[in-house]
Structure formats: structure tokens, C-alpha cells
Chain A
Amino acid sequence: MPKLTVEPEGVCIDLHDDETILEGLYRHGYAYRIGCRRGGCAICKVDVLRGEVDYNRPVAEKVLTDDERATGTCLSCRAVATSDVTITLREDNLRRVNPLMARFAVAQPG
């Protein structure tokens, strides 16, 4: 079960197998700027600081280029962690919309 850490917020959650980064964060009560949630609009791109992600569904080249994949850009609604992963949001902050769930998230990286 890979761990996902979001910096600089320091939020750390467990991801289910085959769960996307977006799904994992929303399941834990967090929100951030997202668009179509289906890999088409590119608004939910984040930067991978450490770790690896992969895609188990097709992603359009015009949405995420090979160059972006190679340099740590991650389409968070489609990306699945293949190791423990640390990301940072782009011009956005992680928001806690369901504190009932978010309190179960670990405050420090595991």
C-alpha cells in the first residue's frame, strides 16, 4: 500500500492499490483544484518530488506529453502510485473539506 505525501502541507495518506492520487486524497477528505476527473483537461497536474507513478488507463498525449511524464509532471486524476510518492500542488493548496475523514490522515510522512 503506497504512501502519498503532499508538501508543503505535510499531509500523508495511504493509497489503495490501483487508486489514483486524486481518489486517495478525496477519500481522505481533501480537495484541490480539479476539472473533468477523467484525464482530459490537465487542470489537476501536480509535480512529483519523489517516487514513481504510472497510468493504468490511456492518457492523451496532448494532455500529458512524454516530456512531462519524464520530468515529474503527474496527471493526478489518472496517476497511480507505484512506490511511496511525494507530490506538491501547482499554484494551489490542499483544502480539508471533510475534517471527519481528514483527521485520520497522518500529519507526518510515514
Chain B
Amino acid sequence: MAVMRMGYMHVKVTDLAEAKDHYANTVGLYQTLEQDGKVYFKGWDEWDHHSVVIEEGGVGYVKCGFKCERPEDVAEIETKATAFGYPVERMVAGENPEVGDGVRVTLPSGHKIEFYSQMTAWGLEVGTHNPDAFPRHMVGIGAPRLDHALLWVNDVPGIEKFFQEVVGMWATERVKTSLDDDAQTLATWLTIGESNHDIALLEAPENKIHHFAFEMRGWDDILKAADIFAMDDTPIDIGPTRHGITRGTTIYFFDPAGNRNETFAGGYRCFRDRPTVTWTADQLGKAIFYHSRELNERFLTVAT
């Protein structure tokens, strides 16, 4: 398997000090570097140098990175992406601090996606020698790791094809206009491994980021996270609840710049021969918010 996971998400924030407080003290990430107006964080159960980058000046998506297993895999993506027809450029080691050589693909939506195979090892917070189950003094919700992102894009079928043919992902679930053969795909959940999704795409009038998510260890941790958000006055969009799509349990919440974050836990394991689930657009309420079965007024309107 060439691509292993989403390795990092890089977003802009309007106020770096506030955002640092959120990601360090509420989300509970560990700061590993501050340099050139950017702050780098990792979760306790991640071993690479960083998985979240925040940059002062605005709001919204800058780029994300997917980590490949070997340099040859990055080269293969460069070849395939070029043949696919999307703009591809090389990035050199150090262009992103602590990240090795790679390639950067620009989707037709304008989203930049980077592929790399080397990042400075930092180590798990619990170590790898007779480790404990979690860090003894976790801060905030203690998010273990970055999980996935949902992007608003202007061409779900085209960009889904890129992630399938170039990156090697497959769709676990889709939202379609109907069950007819000629139905349009409105949203897709794409995975590279056994998790429900590493990236999801939603058809939208603007090209933005809807949210990026942290994987939590279970429903108990999701509920506790909501308690922490109440204590820290972190705006909650919705939850704790369950998604129909992926069956994952969730809270959507906002960082101090208004970027949507998610805590996500559960869902089923995915194998490449698993049949793709289809949801019809008239059932979108249940698909997104399984308990209320109604969309809230922000899901399809709020993104950065």
C-alpha cells in the first residue's frame, strides 16, 4: 500500500495565540515547533514530528499531506498524477519543516495535497518500551491522532477519481441523488486503509474545508470531550451524536478562528472488497446526524 494515511493538516487562523491555546490546551496536542508564524503539533499517539500546522493570517485550508510508505511510492504518485492531468510540482526536504522530499498536487478545487514519505520521528508520548495505555497527564480532550478531513469541492466525481486512480483509495460510502444508474454522486468517503475514511468530498459551491477530525478512543472519550468543550467555552456545532455514514460517533466543534474540528470514534473496519454503501440525498439528515435525522442549518452552509 503506497499511501498510508493523512499525515498532516495545515490551516490558517486569525489569532495565533488563541489557536495555540485551543489546539494545545483544549484539543490536547503537543507543540513540537514554532517557526515563521506557524505552530506545529502532534497527538500523543502519533510518532511523526507533526500532524497539525496552524498559520496566522486568515482562516481556512492551506494544504494537507498524505504519508507514503516509501520514496518510490511518492515517485509513482508523481507519475500517475501527471498522467491524470492535475498540476504536480516537487517539494524539497525542509520546505515543510521536518518533512522530506515530496510532490504537491493541486486539485481542480484549488486544494493542495502533498505526498511525502519521510518526516522526522518524534516518538509516541507513551514511548515504545513497556508503554502505558495513555499519557498520565493528558491535557484537554487528549486527542490521540489526526484522522481525516472533509473538503468542499466543485467536482466530486472527478476528484474522487483522482483519489481512486492516483492515490489508490476506494469509496466506503457515497451520497447520491438517487439509486438510479445515472444518479450523481454528491459526496464520497474515501479510505486507503481499514478506517472508514481518510478524506471525504462534498459537492459545494465553494472550495473550502468543512472540517478535519481527530480520532478518539471511544464514546466515553467523545462524551468527556464535550464536557471539556463546555468548560473551555469551545463552540460546539453538533453532538455528541452518531453519524449514519460510517457509524462513527462525533462532535463537531470550532477552533478560535472558526475552522471546524471533529472528534471521531468508532465506525467499522473496511477492506477493499467491502461493498460501497449508498445513501440517497433525501436521507441526508439521517446519514449525517443519525439520531436527530435532521441536518442542522450549518452542515451544508458553514465551512472555511
Binding site for B on A (CB under 8 A): 33, 35-41, 43, 57-63
Contact = CB atoms under 8 A, between A and B. Distances in A.
Interface stretch (B137-145, B161-169, B255-263): B255-263
Interface of B: 12, 14-15, 58-60, 235, 237, 254-260, 297-298, 301-304
A39 B14 contact: yes
A58 B16 CA distance: 10
Contacts of A35: 237, 258, 298, 301-302
- Which 9 pairs between the two chains have the least Cβ-Cβ distance? A40-B258, A36-B258, A35-B302, A38-B258, A36-B254, A41-B302, A60-B58, A58-B14, A40-B59
B257 A62 contact: no
Contacts of B302: 35-36, 41, 43
10 contacts: A35-B298, A36-B304, A37-B254, A38-B255, A38-B256, A41-B258, A41-B301, A41-B303, A58-B14, A63-B258
Nearest to B16: A58
Contact of B235 (A37, A60, A62): A37
A38 B254 contact: yes
A94 to B, nearest CB: 15
B14 A60 contact: yes
Contact of B304 (A37, A41, A59, A61): A41
A62 B259 CA distance: 13
Nearest to B298: A35
Given A36-B259, A38-B254, 10 more contacts: A35-B258, A36-B260, A39-B257, A40-B257, A41-B258, A41-B298, A41-B301, A43-B298, A60-B60, A61-B58
A33 B59 contact: no
A57 B256 CA distance: 11
Contact of B257 (A43, A60, A61): A60
Nearest to B22: A38
B254 A57 contact: no
Given A38-B256, A38-B257, A63 B301 contact: no
A86 to B, nearest CB: 25
B298 A62 contact: no
Contact of A33 (B255, B256, B257, B297): B297
B254 A59 contact: no
Contact of B15 (A41, A43, A58): A58
A54 to B, nearest CB: 16
A3 B255 CA distance: 30
B303 A59 contact: no
A41 B302 CA distance: 6
B304 A40 contact: yes
